[in-house]
Every structure is written in C-alpha cells, then in structure tokens.
Amino acid sequence: MYTDEDLIKGCIRKEREAQKALYERYADRLLGICARYAADTAEAEDILQEGFVRIFIHIGDFSAKGSLFNWMRKVMINTAITMYHKTLRHRYHQEIEAVQAPARDEMPGSSDFTHEELLAVIRSLPEGYRIIFNLYAIEGFKHREIAEMLGIDVNTSKSQYSRARRFIRKKLEDISRIAVPDEKKKDEEA
C-alpha cells in the first residue's frame, strides 16, 4: 500500500503505476465534487479527467503544507471553472429574470431528501447559478473571491447565489409536494 508521499514521488517521476494508484484512491471522492459543478455525469467525468491531467502535470507544485486531497479538490474546482468559461459561449443561457422565485421563504430540511435528489436539484440549476452556489455554499469561498475567479461583479455573485437558493427552495418544495400524496396513498392502503 502506497502512502500519499510515495504516490506523489512516483507521479513526479511519471510512473504509470503511481498515477493509476493515485487515481484509484481519490477518483470517486473527486467525482462527487465534479458532479456538483456539472450538468450531468458525462460532464462530471470530463471535469474529473481534465483535472487529473492537470494534477499529474502539476503534482510537483504540491507543497505538502496541506492535505493532498484538498490540493486536488482545488484543482478540480478550478478545472470546473475553466471548463465553464470555455463552454460559456456555446451553451444556451437562461436569463436570470426568467427563473420564477417562490413566495415562501421556508425551505424543507435537507434531511428530508436523498443525496440523489439534492444532487439532481443542484444539477438542474442554470449553469451560472450552479457554479456560484457550489463555490459559496459548499466550498466556502467569499463573494469577492468568486467574483475574481469568474470575472464578474461581486453583486452579480451575491444576486445569483440568492436566486440559486430560491430556485433550489422551489425545486425542493415541488419534490415535497409530489412525495406527500404518495405517502397519503400508502397510509390509506394500509
């Protein structure tokens, strides 16, 4: 069993066995991160593959001051942002004003939903919302940092995050409304 240090040294020497072991050790966890930024599984896998190419090229830049996983996580996030910028002009964009915001401010508890349901809701966000929501709510970046990364105004980041939250809230409420009648049917049948 290789240590992370052994894998780093092997990858710096471009040893295929070390690269494969590093990929196998971290790919599943990193794919989960990529999936939050992607519209579908195929796009998440593309981000993962591109991210690992960057990891293998720049592994010598890893300073070992933090964890290897956190460094690779940042590479994946930056890869997702880069791919977002590259494909930005080629995708259909929904106008911010076209997204309907719900009137209610309460959001069902996240424990009411499965991981798959939550991921599907995040993936259903318009792309700009999805990137900003992930960077702010999940990765913990500040709006100023997000604005710099994406080349947008700080207020744009804040407003898109706010709209993303409302969009998610509405989707989760819709899921809740669909689930409730099913539960009532089960109770009636029992």
CATH of the domain at 81: 1.10.1740.10
Pair 189, 105 in one domain: yes
Task: Say which CATH number the domain at 123 has.
Answer: 1.10.10.10
- Give the whole-angstrom CA distance, residue 141 versus residue 107: 23
Pair 65, 142 in one domain: no
Pair 108, 177 in one domain: yes
Pair 69, 157 in one domain: no
Pair 79, 137 in one domain: no
- Give the whole-angstrom CA distance, residue 173 versus residue 108: 7
Q: Which of 136, 11, 144, 129 is nearest to 72 (CA)?
A: 11
> What φ, ψ does residue 183 adopt, rounded to 5°?
-65, -40
Which residue, of 68, 91, 114, is where some domain finishes?
A: 91
Query: In a structure prediction context, what are the per-residue pLDDT tens digits for the chain, which is 190 residues long?
Result: 789 999 999 999 999 999 999 999 999 999 999 999 988 899 999 999 999 999 999 999 998 888 999 999 999 999 999 888 877 654 444 443 344 433 333 344 445 678 888 888 888 898 889 999 999 988 889 999 999 988 899 999 999 999 999 999 898 888 877 765 555 555 555 5
Pair 185, 148 in one domain: yes
Pair 75, 110 in one domain: no
167 and 102 Cβ atoms separated by less than 8 Å: no
pTM of the model: 0.65
Pull the structure tokens for residue 42: 């195929």
Number of structural domains the chain divides into: 2
Helix (H) or strand (E) holding 38: none
Pair 77, 135 in one domain: no
Pair 40, 10 in one domain: yes
Pair 102, 63 in one domain: no
Q: Which pLDDT value is given to residue 187?
A: 53
Which residue, of 54, 71, 91, is where some domain finishes?
A: 91
Pair 42, 105 in one domain: no
Pair 178, 149 in one domain: yes
Q: Domain containing 50: what range?
A: 1-91
